[in-house]
Amino acid sequence: MNGQGQTGAIVVVVGPSGAGKDSVIGFVAQHFAGREDIDFVRRVITRPSDAGGEDHESISGEVFDSRLSAGEFAVAWQAHGLKYGIPKQALERVRAGRILIANGSRAALGQFRQAFPRVAVVNITASPQVLASRLVARGRESEQDILNRLQRQVPDIFDEPDVTTIDNSGPLDIAGSRFAALVAGLHGSAT
């Protein structure tokens, strides 16, 4: 974790498609419902709002590029033909002492670590069989797209001291409870 003197932090959730990142984030959102010191980042994505998955702000590529040029994102990256952004307001919320949870990207972790004073990374994983079955059930991609996702090489992040890996191959409450404990520990607060 960076910036040990800070009370706020951003928890960046990463992992392969189909690992259940949105499900684990949803579990933690319910667990901490009503807590004003723990909040969630609504990403800006060049994907239709009705595409399923997370609640996000949907914008065109041109608008994204314009907002990026205007400095409106703390972190921005591209993946799978889409553009993703973390609004700059997230920095203010962390500096004010809040714990933010954001669905991120392994490839953008360097940007998160540069932009935010304190970062914790949660790497959600699942077995290859679970990943494949979840991607097929999601129904958003062709079989070839799924194979490409499963074979994609990703940066090796697992040796970094700010990374915690949680396996979400089994029941959601197991992975979700581990994640909730990590978030609670960032503030030194009880859940």
* Helices and strands (DSSP H and E) totals, the chain: 7, 9
Q: Which residues contact 82 (CB under 8 A, 6 or more apart)?
A: 45, 46, 47
61 annotated as ligand-binding: no
The annotation status of 53 as a binding-site residue, yes or no, is no
User: Treating both helix axes as pointing N-terminal to C-terminal, what angle do 21-31 and 172-187 enclose, rounded to 10 degrees?
Assistant: 60
Strand order in the sheet with 82-87: 57-58, 44-45, 82-87, 73-79
Packing angle, helices 128-138 and 143-151, rounded to 10: 150
17 is in an annotated binding site: yes
Phi, psi for residue 93 in degrees, rounded to 5: -65, -40
Residue 155 labelled as part of a binding site: no
Residue 14 near residue 106, CB atoms below 8 Å:
yes
- State the Rg of the chain over Cα: 16
The answer on whether 18 is annotated among ligand-binding residues is yes
Tokens of 121: 């990374």
Q: Is 3 annotated as a binding residue?
A: no
20 has binding-site annotation: yes
**First and final CA of the chain: distance in angstroms?**
21
Q: Residues within the annotated binding site?
A: 15-22
Q: Residues within the annotated binding site for ATP?
A: 15-22
